[in-house]
Chains A and B, each alone.
Chain A
């Protein structure tokens, strides 16, 4: 019947991009950024904003060339059926991999922070059933859930941040520009590899009600997300100093643990962990959806719902297998993930697709003349 409100608005895209970056960025990024760039960690965010803008433009440009088509469809149009399907498979793997990574990250976070005796698999099962339930609702439902969650997330973030202000020492941020620029760029590349996950938008932008406005929305979302990464980095350094954070697995959690107000509000880490998991949940849902939608489109299925549960069954064991221990999560995301993700999924293939599409397009126009 009446399906007029079925599409996604560009305002919702801002929140979506924000949660792709901050959903896991808040617990993962500040630590390594401080490790690379010491007290100049906030500078990483400034540099990352440049790269992030480029990544945002890349995605939206690619989508504008093929309005109404997802990356799984237009890669076949650009590269032909075989190579196109191969690219599709690569992005299905991205969905499965990121989904597994975030599921593992979030359940490990719960285990190390608040529930040390709970087996990982229990948390993984709960998170994946929740994401399967949301993916059944479709992308609109995910986007709406994300909108509400991110409003609460930002609100909670500011409340915690203002409570932490009393324990911050701005002198910790000095001296500025004291670390070599290469270290700052290293941190920035790390942040950009998180921003680059917005490549998932290549499958979402076709469902927008006004796709022509997507560039502005995506860029605002990218800048908003990077801004929050920046102030988190600065806050972390101001609170714990430039050298202490690298000793923690999730330094931001330890910073929040230190918040104490009026002798009544203290040890907010359970609430904060719940907040981080709610942000991570959105990402789990989104990449679960990407894997499901992609498999359906590559296999030529009408409906993606039948593959949701099978994907969850792939993700659950994978999320345990990919990391031997919690410390490996940190190692992988600091050293392997930036290179692996940027070169293959986030910049490499999209750039290749864009160049070939533009060349082909020119060729076609020449032929028509």
Chain B
């Protein structure tokens, strides 16, 4: 009932609007009022185009009331001057040369020159324009206002023809965008340099250039009531697990939010356990990294407007696998990877272990070392726990400042940090030199693993410091066990976070602590998808040619 009445009301309003536009303009106040309600309630979304160009334009003008960047250009058709055309576009989102050369010029001049004596009636016009007039690669006809407005906002231009109830959407998108440049967040020694940009189409093309298969699927959906952000779910059909793909799509469809400005919004909205500190969805700005993950059976999520693409399911070990692990010799990659695990653990426990030892278990240190530390502590005014918490805090501030400050000022900060805080504080006897060494070393270690796995550690470190400052090594143990329990209970899209270590999978160990040679990486990780596992032919190792009989030294 309600639906019917509201529909009838809408029709009534439309009729009144029509009467007002076609009739005299004496009731302008009434018109304004009507249009205001129309805009408020978004009724135009339900309307279709009418045959009257004037009326269509009036509705569109009112939809884009007070939006100065929307351009309405009316002109006449070259072959029949009684037919009026209107081109509508948003300044800045369209390619203007394309617009003037392939639409305006063609329709208002050249089509008459090409076929001089042709008689074109009003009924034929739209058909002829679409088939012969427009020189645009991709056009689409529609009669719904909603579709027209959405296209207009995405950067397409609209051509309306007088006397026809459908408009033409021309793909004339073209806006200023950043060109593909080197990645700044993920720096590698070896490997492709390019990184994703803010435009979805460019990113999709970058990915397509890596994976030249029709099985590479891209499913588009729009998320965000106001931002209408395009989100592409991308995966390799036949490798990615269908369960995960459908789960990703289902979770994305469940999102109802006004705006999505970065993939971070999506990440938090579809995470398995949003209250946990550890990231359960991985991100990257490198196409090669995403392509590598998709080849292992993961699903990528590209979001328009950000260079950071997401990938799921996400495992803990991924943060220790860098793309150049796979490009450089396996022995080097393995040792660097072990170093990354080690430095992650150092970042997590080193300050608290130091604190526990110097304040509770001094007997563990060799006599020479404990004497030198005791000497430093003698003059230090603060208790060890306060001192190390303070220095960790200072380091975090310096690090954040280095990130946010303008590049020119960054250097000043590092000098102030190194000289004033490091050297002067020790000389003044405010903090012990050993504390500075521990904090600085921990800080440097935190740059080795991928940065998203360091973020939770930076926060947890302070909790561990408090625990070990109050309970010594037992406190550290309690904190460490709590983190371990948390990691063990996490899942990312149904896959246990710590796999393939727990639950253990022997085949999965080829790419966890060690990265075996590509010669023996026969299968994809079984944990991600259970079919299409074969990755390469076994025994492709080159065999030295057998010496020929007459090949010896002569």
Contact = CB atoms under 8 A, between A and B. Distances in A.
A binds B: yes
Interface of A: 1-5, 9, 11-12, 110, 114-115, 118, 122-123, 126-127, 130, 133-134, 137-138, 141, 144-145, 147-149, 263-264, 266-268, 270-271, 273-274, 277-278, 281
Contacts of A118: 471
A12 B503 CA distance: 8
A271 B473 contact: yes
Contact of B473 (A144, A263, A270): A270
Contact of A141 (B361, B474, B488): B488
Contacts of B471: 115, 118, 122-123, 126
Interface in B488-514: 488-489, 493-496, 498-499, 501-504
A266 B484 contact: no
B488 A148 contact: yes
Contact of A148 (B243, B484, B495): B484
A110 to B, nearest CB: 5
A13 B4 CA distance: 65
A80 B498 CA distance: 43
Interface of B: 243-244, 247, 356-357, 360-361, 363-364, 366, 471-478, 481-482, 484-485, 488-489, 493-496, 498-499, 501-504, 527
Contacts of A4: 494
A267 to B, nearest CB: 4
Given A1-B243, A115-B471, A138-B489, 19 more contacts: A2-B244, A2-B494, A2-B495, A5-B503, A11-B504, A12-B504, A122-B471, A123-B471, A137-B489, A144-B496, A144-B498, A148-B498, A267-B363, A270-B361, A271-B473, A273-B473, A274-B476, A278-B481, A281-B481
Nearest to B472: A115
Contact of A149 (B360, B472, B484, B493): B484
A277 B477 contact: yes
Contacts of A277: 474, 477
A145 B527 CA distance: 19
Contacts of B498: 144, 148
Contacts of B478: 126-127, 130
18 contacts: A5-B494, A5-B495, A5-B499, A5-B527, A11-B504, A126-B474, A127-B478, A133-B485, A134-B481, A134-B485, A144-B502, A148-B501, A148-B502, A149-B484, A266-B364, A270-B356, A270-B472, A271-B473
B494 to A, nearest CB: 3
- Taking each of A115, A141, A144, A266, which has the highest tally of chain B beta carbons within 10 Å of its own beta carbon? A144
A114 B360 contact: yes
Contacts of A264: 366
A274 B473 contact: yes
A280 to B, nearest CB: 11
Contact of A278 (B243, B357, B477): B477
- Taking each of B363, B473, B474, which has the highest tally of chain A beta carbons within 10 Å of its own beta carbon? B474
Contacts of B493: 1-2
B494 A1 contact: yes
- Taking each of B243, B475, B485, which has the highest tally of chain A beta carbons within 10 Å of its own beta carbon? B485
A130 B482 contact: yes
Given A115-B360, A147-B504, A264-B366, A3 B472 contact: no
Given A123-B474, A148-B502, A267 B496 contact: no
A11 B504 CA distance: 8
B159 to A, nearest CB: 47
User: Which 5 A-B pairs rank lowest in CB-CB distance, beginning with the nearest?
Assistant: A2-B494, A137-B489, A144-B488, A270-B361, A267-B363
Nearest to A141: B489
Contact of A110 (B474, B496, B504): B474
Contacts of A5: 494-496, 499, 503, 527
Nearest to B484: A145
Given A11-B504, A141-B485, A144-B503, A3 B474 contact: no
B474 to A, nearest CB: 5
A104 to B, nearest CB: 15
Contacts of B473: 114, 270-271, 273-274
B481 A2 contact: no
A147 B527 CA distance: 18
A127 to B, nearest CB: 8
B434 to A, nearest CB: 16
B485 A114 contact: no
A4 B471 CA distance: 40
B488 A145 contact: yes
Contacts of B477: 274, 277-278
A1 B164 CA distance: 51
A144 B485 CA distance: 8
A110 B476 CA distance: 13
Contacts of B489: 137-138, 141
Nearest to B506: A11
A267 B473 CA distance: 14
Contacts of A122: 471
A36 B431 CA distance: 54
A211 to B, nearest CB: 17
Contact of B366 (A1, A123, A266, A271): A266
A148 B501 CA distance: 8
Nearest to B496: A5
A12 B481 CA distance: 18
A273 B475 CA distance: 12
B247 A9 contact: no
Contacts of A278: 477, 481
B247 A2 contact: yes
A145 B498 CA distance: 10
A5 B489 CA distance: 12
A108 B463 CA distance: 25
B460 to A, nearest CB: 15
A140 B472 CA distance: 30
Contacts of B503: 5, 9, 12, 144
A145 B485 contact: yes
A271 B356 CA distance: 11
A2 B492 CA distance: 10
Given A115-B474, A145-B485, A274-B474, A268 B494 contact: no
A130 B475 CA distance: 11
Contacts of A138: 489
Contacts of B481: 130, 134, 145, 149, 278, 281
A2 B484 contact: no
A1 B474 contact: no
- Taking each of B247, B356, B477, which has the highest tally of chain A beta carbons within 10 Å of its own beta carbon? B477
Contacts of A281: 481
A188 to B, nearest CB: 32
B364 A270 contact: yes
Contacts of B244: 2
Contacts of B357: 270
Contacts of A268: 364
B474 A263 contact: no
B532 to A, nearest CB: 17
B485 A137 contact: yes
A5 B499 CA distance: 10
- Taking each of B471, B499, B502, which has the highest tally of chain A beta carbons within 10 Å of its own beta carbon? B502
A134 B483 CA distance: 10
A110 B473 CA distance: 10
Contacts of B499: 5
Given A5-B495, A267-B364, A137 B504 contact: no
Contacts of A271: 364, 473
Contacts of A11: 504
Contacts of B361: 114, 267, 270
B13 to A, nearest CB: 46
Contact of B488 (A137, A267, A270): A137
A11 B356 CA distance: 35
B364 to A, nearest CB: 5
